[in-house]
Amino acid sequence: MRALLPYLALYKRHKWLLTLGIVLAIVTLLASIGLLTLSGWFLSASAVVGVAGIYSFNYMLPAAGVRGSAIIRTAGRYFERLVSHDATFRVLQHLRVFTFSKLLPLSPAGLARFRQGELLNRMVADVDTLDHLYLRVISPLVGALVIILVVTFGLSFLDGMLALTLGGIMLLTLLLLPPLFYRAGRPTGEQLTQLRGRYRQQLTRWLQGQAELTIFNASTRYREQMEQTEVNWHDAQRRQSELTALSQALMLLIGGFAVIAMLWLAAGGVGGNTQPGALIALFVFCALAAFEALAPVTGAFQHLGQVIASALRLTQVIEQKPEVEFSQTPSLVPEQVALRFEQVAFSYPEQTQMALNDITLQIHAGEHIAILGRTGCGKSTLLQLITRAWDPQQGVILLNGQPLREMAEPTLRRTMSVVPQRVHLFSATLRDNLLLACPEATDDALSSVLQKTGLGKLLEDGGLNSWLGEGGRQLSGGELRRLAIARALLHDAPLMLLDEPTEGLDATTESQILDLLADLMRNKTLLMVTHRLRGLARFNRIIVMDNGQIIEQGNHAELLSQQGRYYQFKQRL
């Protein structure tokens, strides 16, 4: 239960709306009980009056009560659903924001051990499961408790013993059945949560890896594993359905026992009246209606196992301590950036080999540097340390003489523009994806940067309102690269970090992009990771890396004259 406390705290933001939903639910249940109780008594009283030959009977007042109860029940049910679901959606909205705000500082170090499909399942399915906490647990439980008190209090004006008997049976049912079925349903609920996550993770991996699975003739075997998980999932759902049916049957049995008890006890007299007549029907129908209010409670506690399991899965992720912590002291964004690495060493978690080893490097303000080397030599890791995706285990990185650890995150993010290897686009318009880099940019500025990066044809159909789709699937790899460069240019930071920016571009477009970067970033610091040798003569300095170390550095002519590793790369062209 403690796992739910952080998420229950989010309910305080909408406590009045949630309370209103519970009040409306209670009013609706009371109206339903009043409708059935009053109707049963009214019909019975009318029959008794007719048999007794009594000709004076006020039928107007109970008839008005029946109509009023029916109207209140209908209106109350409508507004209760409206308010409760609106409040739940608002809580889920804040829960998603809360969860994402906890996940963001963990990236990438704290999230590296989770697969993308598993994280997606925890962010979506597990968060959605938490809505059961209010709609299926808290609201029915509070409503049932209030109903017991109100019914017992109301019936006590007619007969205290009968009222306490009915109230005692209902209270014992409320205290015993929910914990019983919670314990019975908890293993199944936890299994359902685990199997659901495993199945969605397998499905995501199967869809993403169709090409590889088909090439290696593993698609059938992988599909069989996924189908076995689905069978286990359905089996767990069947067990939960059986448990739900058992709880409903037991509730009906107890409700039937309560009705029989009321019929037997009321027949002996009500409130000292040995001839209770229609009052017998009042107690019997009240018992029937009151147990309808308790019906959702036992089923609700079966879902509590899923809710707690989902909360634990989320807590497992969001309660991790971030590997990188930023200073809270704000500072101004510098106009120019100089970087210095002093004996920096870094290795990834659970890796014995050093990704970077004893890196000492001075980058002057306004200098354009290309970082060259074979795959896995530490080029991209160098850029990740500058963005503070990770912190080095040894050494220090200085930006304008200030350690990166002492810079506030907003300042650091505004100081640099990054073009990563993997370009992420949202399923939104072209304008929306560009405005991520510069929310205040005008349409003219957006169109201009698209023209400069050779993406003018994207404006031909729908213009900036063109829909890019999930991940920009209709764009080529080269267009994705240029769009990322366009966003980096819009961000207009004094430091630009480029990781393979010309990958997938033809020679002509690559030359245009490099010329554009050289022109627009003339007075800014630029670091470009690449394994392509075209256009490197434009850079002030070229750094060649191998095995996490800098083995050569100098300009294009100097490195060629040394006939070292850079010279060997050029000879292979």
- Do the domain assignments include residue 463? no
Query: 206 lies in which domain range?
Result: 2-318
In this structure, the answer to whether residues 311 and 345 fall within a common structural domain is no
Which tokens belong to 493?
Answer: 């930071």
Q: Which of 283, 318, 353 lies at the terminal end of a domain, its last residue?
A: 318
- Do the domain assignments include residue 89? yes
CATH code assigned at 499: 3.40.50.300
The whole-angstrom separation of Cα 124 and Cα 224 is 25
In this structure, the answer to whether residues 7 and 129 fall within a common structural domain is yes
In this structure, the answer to whether residues 406 and 512 fall within a common structural domain is yes
- Do the domain assignments include residue 118? yes
- Do the domain assignments include residue 362? yes
In this structure, the answer to whether residues 351 and 216 fall within a common structural domain is no
> How many domains does the chain fold into?
2
* H-state helical runs in 319-408: 379-386
β-pairing, 356-363 vs 339-346, is antiparallel
Bridge partners (DSSP) listed for residue 369: 527, 541
In this structure, the answer to whether residues 304 and 360 fall within a common structural domain is no
Helix (H, G, I), strand (E, B) or coil at 368: strand
Residue type at 42 in one-letter notation: F
Q: Which of 268, 287, 318 lies at the terminal end of a domain, its last residue?
A: 318
CATH code assigned at 300: 1.20.1560.10
- Do the domain assignments include residue 543? yes
In this structure, the answer to whether residues 355 and 272 fall within a common structural domain is no
In this structure, the answer to whether residues 344 and 309 fall within a common structural domain is no
β-pairing, 356-363 vs 525-530, is unpaired
In this structure, the answer to whether residues 280 and 143 fall within a common structural domain is yes
In this structure, the answer to whether residues 413 and 553 fall within a common structural domain is yes
Confirm if 453 and 501 have CB atoms less than 8 A apart.
no
Q: Spell out the per-residue pLDDT of the chain, length 573, in tens.
A: 676 777 777 777 888 888 999 999 999 999 999 999 888 888 888 887 765 555 556 778 888 888 999 999 999 999 999 998 888 888 888 888 888 888 777 777 667 666 666 777 777 777 777 777 777 788 888 888 999 999 999 999 888 899 999 999 999 988 888 888 888 888 888 888 888 888 888 888 888 788 888 888 888 888 889 999 999 999 999 988 888 888 888 988 998 999 999 989 888 888 777 777 888 889 999 999 988 878 888 777 777 777 887 888 788 777 778 778 888 888 888 888 999 999 999 988 877 888 899 899 999 998 999 999 888 888 888 998 999 888 898 999 999 989 988 899 889 989 999 988 888 888 888 889 899 888 898 989 989 888 888 888 888 777 888 888 776 667 777 788 888 888 988 988 899 999 888 776 777 777 877 887 887 788 889 999 988 888 888 888 999 998 889 999 998 888 888 888 888 887 776
Q: Which of 284, 318, 352 lies at the terminal end of a domain, its last residue?
A: 318
Which tokens belong to 234?
Answer: 């359905």
The whole-angstrom separation of Cα 401 and Cα 338 is 8
- Do the domain assignments include residue 157? yes
CA–CA–CA angle 220, 225, 231 (5° rounding): 120
In this structure, the answer to whether residues 72 and 124 fall within a common structural domain is yes
- Do the domain assignments include residue 459? no
Residue with tokens 């599909």: 223
In this structure, the answer to whether residues 293 and 198 fall within a common structural domain is yes
Q: How many CA atoms lie within 13 A of 392 on its CB side?
A: 27
Q: How far apart are the first and last CA of the chain?
A: 65
In this structure, the answer to whether residues 220 and 368 fall within a common structural domain is no
- Do the domain assignments include residue 566? yes
β-pairing, 495-499 vs 356-363, is unpaired
